[in-house]
Structure 1
């Protein structure tokens, strides 16, 4: 055969799962989006249409809902339960990747909650290969803004440079952060929630505490602070879009603007990405 299949996988994406805990009159609410991806000995279905080794994506969806019946716990632990099941119970499957985003709701009563449009997501990705599981956790769309303590000057300028230097600007971003755990914890349930809270708290503190000379500097400060806060994390990957805020020119109206009125920019935007990792011992 002159053409061979390369790496491939299949699964169900965008499985929307809401679970209500009704053990007491004060209900609990979990709101997840789950994505599954399976790989293994799948040549037959690609080459000849023989589907005997294929676990339907609809079955994968149903499995997610069935597993939620008895509780979810930390999303990392739930993702690992699913990944291990898909590999261990399906002969043709040798690896499974399960990604989960959790949508946060704010309690306003015993059985009442509120959530604005968009907003921060807690995320995880678990990959299980039949022997071990690799887990990464993080946040996405975490909106952060400093109204001062941010500069940007001394940068390279050429014949196309029009950006003015500034020693006081608004610094705003929507953080996507992902951190890899170096080993599987003995107590997955308690560990993952504690580690997530510590990492998120370190991220917020670093953003608030850092006098920023560039968004790149802030990125490194955030990654460093997470690594210090959670020893089990090996590296942190960060994506920081620069949500530009431009001081609006009021002089044409006979008014000054002492840094109080800004126009929020949209497109295009600067995008700063990087990885902060522990140095090899």
Structure 2
């Protein structure tokens, strides 16, 4: 039996980076989590412990910090592209670079006094909004892919959802629901048809499409809602050719109040955190090229 080395990559994960831009008295904050992974002609280090082709992961960490100073950090997709292209261009043994970034959002603290400015110039509070994400791949042959996304976006419709007409067997106890709460914590990733663009505007508009489709759809199933959310993005944003959504069903069960002599006209619910239904799917332009390993 022959034993061979399979696919491999290595890198520095979870590099915490906070970048402050001081525009006079007004400061701007970027809070990122950056992970880099490199692959290419790396067989020797795995098979013989030969490190000559290995760019240390500590060096990758330092590169993130140095580039934050020299290149700045505006849109996370652009910063990831700069890093990925640098690793491939600067290291002969590196044929592919993958850079993943999560961005944690902050808001300015309102000023305390009536005579002060409307917002503080240097005080921030961590936003309760979702986490913005991106994954960039860059190959030595010049092939580049950009995946933008978000996670931890919690949505809820208090009505406008039902679930009935489903398959049943001897283990089915679920009763049909004609008026239920529909809630989910959305993870979405979308693929840009070309590398480069106005990523900030695109992110805002895709997020708006997801929110509006969730709100506008009378839901017969969470699967249907997922598809409508993805379709809204594809039909509205020409720069996006594919959307992948992961949507756990955050169940809300009406509480039986009859033991207390009370009715419950769908007003009091128990929010169950587990187990939960997990719905996943992709929606794409039927002319979009195959993403291959770019989703990994």
User: TM-score category by the smaller chain?
Assistant: over 0.9
Deviations 1:128-164 (A, max 9, x none): 0021211010111100001010111111111111011
Q: Distance in 2 between matches of 1:258 and 1:106?
A: 38
Match of 1:63 in 2: 63
Shift of 1:2: 3.1
Q: Give a deviation string over 1:209-263, Cα, whole Å, max 9, x none.
A: 1111100000000000011221111111010000000111111111111211111
Give the TM-score taking structure 2 as reference length: 0.91
Query: 2:178 — aligned with what?
Result: 167
Per-residue deviation, 1:23: 1.9
Report the Cα distance in structure 2 between the residues aligned to 1:121 and 1:55, rounded to whole angstroms.
30
Specify the alignment match of 2:49 in structure 1: 49
1:207 paired to 2:205: no
2: distance between equivalents of 1:184 and 1:97? 14
Alignment match, 1:87: 88
User: Which whole-Å CA distance do the structure 2 matches of 1:196 and 1:280 have between them?
Assistant: 22
Residue 279 of structure 1 deviates from its aligned partner by 1.9
Matched, 1:37 2:48: no
**Which residue in the other structure is 2:138 paired with?**
128
Note the aligned Cα RMSD (angstroms): 1.4
In the superposition, the TM-score normalised over structure 1's length comes to 0.95
- Render the CA deviation track for 1:37-78: whole Å, top value 9, x for unaligned: 000101111111110110000110110011101311110000
Please say if 1:3 is aligned against 2:3. Answer: yes
Distance in 2 between residues matched to 1:229 and 1:107, nearest whole Å: 31
Q: Note if contact 2:105-2:127 (Cα within 8 Å) is conserved in structure 1.
A: no
1:237-248 paired onto structure 2 within 5 Å: 237-248=244-255
Distance (Å, rounded) in 2 between the aligned partners of 1:84 and 1:236: 25
Per the alignment, residue 216 of structure 1 pairs with 223
* Structure 2 unmatched ranges of 5 or more: 110-119, 289-296
Determine whether 1:150 maps to 2:157: no
Residue among 229, 232, 253 paired with 1:225: 232
Q: 2:124 and 2:264 mapped to 1: Cα distance?
A: 40
Q: CA deviation at 1:116?
A: 5.6
In the other structure, the counterpart of 2:79 is: 78
2 CA distance for matches of 1:256 and 1:97?
56
- After superposition, give the CA deviation of every residue in 1:143-193 in whole Å (9 maximum; x if it has no partner): 0001010111111111111011111111000001111111123xx3xx111
More strand by share: 2
How far 1:91 moved relative to its partner? Answer: 1.3
CA positional deviation for 1:113: 1.2
Could you tell me which runs of 5 or more consecutive residues in structure 1 were left unpaired when the two chains were aligned: none
2:235 and 2:68 mapped to 1: Cα distance?
A: 34
Q: Secondary structure at the match of 2:13?
A: coil
State the distance in 2 between where 1:114 and 1:242 align: 29
Preserved CA contact (<8 Å) 2:80 2:135: yes
* Superposed displacement of residue 11, structure 1: 0.4
| Cα distance in 2 for residues equivalent to 1:202 and 1:116 | 21
